Chain A
Amino acid sequence: MKFEDTSQNLRARLRFIQVLVVLMLALLGVRLYVLQVVRGERYAEIAENQRRRRLPIAAPRGVIFDREGRPIVDSRPIYNVIMSREDVKDLHSLIDPLAEGLQIDKEILRERFDLVSSMPAFESIQVKQDATQDDIAWVEAHTLEFPELRVEQQPQRRYPADGMLAHVLGYVGEISPEQLKQPALREKGLKPGDIIGQSGIEQIYDDYLRGRDGYREVVVDSRGRIQDEIETVAPIPGRDLVTTIDLDLQTAAEEQLRTSVTQRGVIIAMNPNNGEVLALASFPNFDPNLFSQRITTKEGKAEYVALLNDPETPLLNRAVQSRYPPGSTWKIPMSVAGLEQGAITIDHSNLVCGGGITIGNKFTRCMGNHGSPDIKTAITRSCDGYYYRLGLKMGISGIMKMVDEFDLNKRTGIDLPNEVISWTPSPDFKRRMQPRDPEWRDIDTVYSSFGQVYDVVTPISLLRTINAVATGGHLYIPHLLKEVRPIGTPGTADFKPMVGFQPLDPAKPNPKEIGIPEDIHHTVVEGMWGVVNNGGTGASIRMAGFDIAGKTGTAQVVGLGKDTGKNKDHSWFVTYAPAYQPEISMVALIENSGFGSLHAAPAIRRIYDVYYRKTRHTEPPGAVQIAQK
């Protein structure tokens, strides 16, 4: 460098720049080493994950049939608008445009997005269910603005109209955040957004009905648009389920409740020989389609709130979730137990009616004056006075023994969720119920012996008791599952054989055998036969040639004298037929309608008519007369 002069250190300065250049690029090299060699594997995985996406393919849920193979519940394909959350930066900024474009209520959408934001696993969010042609067109027209939206065909559960079988079937719904926290459900691999059975047999047999979702593994670009498909795993459909329900009987039962005075009550029909439930109706009912189809709309939410607040509790399955005093129907197990325990004998069963009984200074009356009837007459005429005295002879310990014998203090084990346990008399129960007067007295034993005060039972447990009397001591577990149909090709690995009903509690015997001695059984049945066929309280429903055994009952709602209007007594009828070769047993309860013989018994008769036509293939005797009444 000819121009160089020593004072400037030019050579040194140039070298300095050269060193600086090399250092800067070397620094980049070090950073490269960190990113590519040290962390390369991890970044590659993250990059791979962000372009790969699993889109679930919903498994079709199993169909539910009645016992004759008639479909009750199935699924139909609908279009849903789905959003991939991964691609969305700010969920809430989408509320306004989506609400407007897809006609969704803003509040509903906001609630949904809030919920989703708290759950990281929520990959695919259902934005709108059952999208219309307009909605689909809107999504397609806005793929540039909202590439995260897609339309998918998914199955939607469809329940019968009029809420038929609502309480039995239950309904499906999206798994809730609370449910997702339950270890039992998590272990099944359920994830947010999954549709599961939330009530009824949909809930109990969810594992069979649900199937397993498949998925499409796709490659998406940065805006979530699908570019390539890597693999498809087909869903495994849910298994079909055959119930024990007979749609003809069910329809008849619901018809009776719908046309009853108060339109509130329960009717259950069963086969006492195996515990199969042929019909189970609880009124008022609800439309399960609300939960599977409309719950995500504003109207649907309002409908749900109205159901929850309805004083007539339509969501409640009265057959298994409500307790009523059994009234005089209680006399049936009392009769069996009284004879078994030796409080009375078949030969010497007469007890005084006396028009009632005085305990201390308190008189409890009988509805009539029956002299000194034997047990058969006492059943047929429903003599309260007789049972006051029988109860006192058995004592509270005898009544408790009876309760235990007939499993009245346990759940029946029916395959429905949230069954409640009946309340049955015991000094313990009184202590809890009346802490101010905790001592058990004779009057309490009297109350306990005719089906009031301390006796508050579920209709299903009462019917099970009647079944035991009908069959001479077989206490079968009531159930709704006839079979889960086999799936797959026999001989292959994915074949699953037919499954029958298994008690939900494997320790529970099915049946429980209490072995009522033949003579006792015969005597009580004769009394029950007389109720309908020998001028008893149910005489109005007699069918010549078809021996109906039964017992009326009236459940006190309030004290005597106030039992009018809304506070009228509940009307009971328990029955089975034919008396000496039982095929079918039933219980009917019409809330607040008055005497059992007036309302519950005629309702039962209509169902017997249907049953008679079905099994005897001829008109039931006297059917027309009854219909005209």
Chain B
Amino acid sequence: MVAIIHKRSWRDFDWVLALMAIGIVGFGTVQIHYAQPTQSYWIKQLIGLSIGLVAMLAIAFTDYRRLLNLAPFFYVFGLVLLVVVLVPGVGTRVNGQQAWIKVPGIGQFQPSEFVKVTTAMLLARYFGKNRAQALTVKEMIVGGLILACPIALILLEPDVGSVLTYMPILAVVLFLSAIRIRLVVATALLAVIMIPLTYWVGVKTNLVKRYQQERINVIYDPENADRKGIGYHTWQSILTVGEGGLFGSRSSAEHSQSSLKFLPEPHTDFIYAVTAETTGFVGCVMVLLAYIVLLSRLITGARRSSDRMGMLVIMAVVGGLTFQIFINIGMALGISPVIGVPLPLMSAGLASLIATFIAIGFAISVQLRRFVN
């Protein structure tokens, strides 16, 4: 019996999804090596890949419903990690953010990346019951609270970038949990009106500080913004991307934007700019296509899910990933502000990598069990 299940498991296993993810990581590792040839980030990335694969397989072959039943436990465990990171001496401070826990042998890892998964799990579990009617106000409040706890803790680090990536998880879950369409439209309209209006009022009342305005201006007009100050990252990233041209930069590796340190954080936040410099427009579009295939496979998996919970957990992952990809690449291309959001599967960083594979593991697990029952 076990053997039969296994045979079927291997047949239904989403090979395209897994291989696509591994392929992106492999490609990303090459870029990391290019960005920091003298550092060991690329080796760590490969270690992260191995751990991630093990985690993915372990979760894929476990019944996701059993895991989701334990979601509150995982969720609380995640919150504990977020508290631990704030304890002086345990958490490590980098660039003014206390967001990392030092793990002997591996290095640092960022709990907020994992908590994204545990939060998505709890949301999926809570909203995963079969429903006949539209979302109630009470449900929305509970959903908001589930999100609010980790966000509050992360804001204490403070890591605004991470917090932003939590938002789409709840948004997607609510959207797919029969929230009334008119509410969605109203929210969208309100956002379209309120965001520029609030910004305008903020500027007029000086509540939005000069340097914060500058960050927005950089996006509109990077060439004339403060290229040496607040606009430095964006401007250098744009130059790096532009230099890549159609097929990649012609200048030597020693004279690249990253090795001369014009491009900051080339192996993490700006890994996509490095990719743009080395592989040009062609390489960049391939990466975008790879992400589209990956996300489409996930959505397909969600659609085939045998229950609401499975669908929600996959779609929460899709929401989180899409948002991160968009913000990170947008940052490299100078159309979104510079906030430290890693590019899933490509940026150097153990936590982000492993968390993404865990999320993919869930998706595969859901798919493997679509005919059970």
Contacts and interface: CB of A to CB of B under 8 A. Distances in A.
Interface string B326-350: 1001100111000000000000000
Interface in A37-73: 37, 39-44, 46-48, 50-51
Interface stretch (B67-75, B83-91, B170-178): B170-178
B295 A21 contact: yes
Contacts of B307: 2-3
B292 A25 contact: yes
Contact of A47 (B239, B280, B311): B239
A36 interface: yes
A222 B306 contact: no
Given A3-B130, A32-B333, A221-B262, A37 B246 contact: yes
Contacts of A184: none
Contacts of B178: 7-8, 10
Interface stretch (A12-20, A234-242, A463-471): A12-20
A486 interface: no
A36 B288 contact: no
B123 interface: no
A42 B261 CA distance: 20
Contacts of B269: none
Nearest to A33: B281
Interface string A283-326: 00000000000000000000000000000000000000000000
Nearest to A3: B308
A227 B292 contact: no
A221 B260 contact: yes
A228 B228 CA distance: 23
A18 B296 contact: yes
A36 B249 CA distance: 10
A222 B261 contact: yes
A89 B228 contact: yes
Contacts of B236: 222
Contact of A50 (B130, B172, B262, B311): B262
A223 B134 CA distance: 58
A31 interface: yes
Contacts of A22: 292, 296
B238 interface: yes
A31 B238 contact: no
A44 B305 contact: no
A14 B315 contact: yes
B244 A36 contact: yes
B322 interface: yes
Contact of B288 (A2, A28, A220): A28
B160 interface: no
A35 B292 contact: no
A44 B281 contact: no
Interface in B219-260: 228-229, 236, 238-246, 249-251, 254-255, 257, 260
B242 A222 contact: no
A29 interface: yes
Contact of A44 (B130, B245, B261, B318): B245
A28 B335 CA distance: 9
Interface string A216-236: 000111110001100000000
Contacts of A222: 236, 260-262
A24 interface: yes
Interface string B288-299: 100110011001
B24 to A, nearest CB: 13
B284 interface: yes
Given A13-B175, A44-B249, A221-B262, A32 B285 contact: yes
Contact of B245 (A14, A28, A37, A220): A37
A35 B305 CA distance: 40
Contacts of B291: 25
A246 to B, nearest CB: 58
Contacts of A33: 281
A178 interface: no
Interface in B343-366: none
B318 A2 contact: no
Contacts of B32: none
Contacts of B172: 17
A5 interface: yes
A228 B281 contact: no
A40 B245 contact: yes
Most buried by A among B228, B238, B255, B288: B255
B306 A2 contact: yes
A10 B128 CA distance: 13
B370 to A, nearest CB: 10
A1 interface: yes
Contacts of A44: 242-243, 245, 249-250
Interface in A68-100: 89
A1 B281 contact: no
Nearest to B181: A9
Contact of A1 (B131, B292, B303, B330): B303
B246 A36 contact: yes
A46 to B, nearest CB: 6
B151 interface: no
B188 to A, nearest CB: 12
Contacts of B249: 44
Most buried by B among A8, A33, A41, A50: A8
A40 B241 CA distance: 8
B303 A36 contact: no
A17 B300 CA distance: 11
A24 B326 contact: yes
B147 interface: no
B262 A36 contact: no
Contacts of A42: 242
Interface string A189-203: 000000000000000
B299 A18 contact: yes
Contacts of B322: 20-21, 24
Contacts of A47: 239-240, 242-243, 257, 262
B132 interface: yes
Given A21-B292, A221-B260, A10 B242 contact: no
Given A29-B288, A219-B254, 4 more contacts: A5-B131, A31-B330, A47-B257, A223-B261
Interface of A: 1-3, 5, 7-11, 13-14, 17-18, 20-22, 24-25, 28-29, 31-33, 35-37, 39-44, 46-48, 50-51, 89, 219-223, 227-228
15 contacts: A5-B132, A13-B175, A17-B172, A21-B318, A25-B325, A28-B326, A29-B284, A31-B330, A31-B334, A35-B238, A40-B242, A43-B241, A44-B250, A51-B255, A220-B260
- What are the 8 A-B residue pairs with the smallest beta carbon separation, nearest first? A43-B242, A40-B245, A221-B260, A8-B178, A36-B281, A47-B239, A222-B261, A44-B243
Interface of B: 130-134, 172, 175-176, 178, 181, 228-229, 236, 238-246, 249-251, 254-255, 257, 260-262, 276, 280-281, 284-285, 288, 291-292, 295-296, 299, 302-308, 311, 315, 318-319, 322, 325-326, 329-330, 333-335
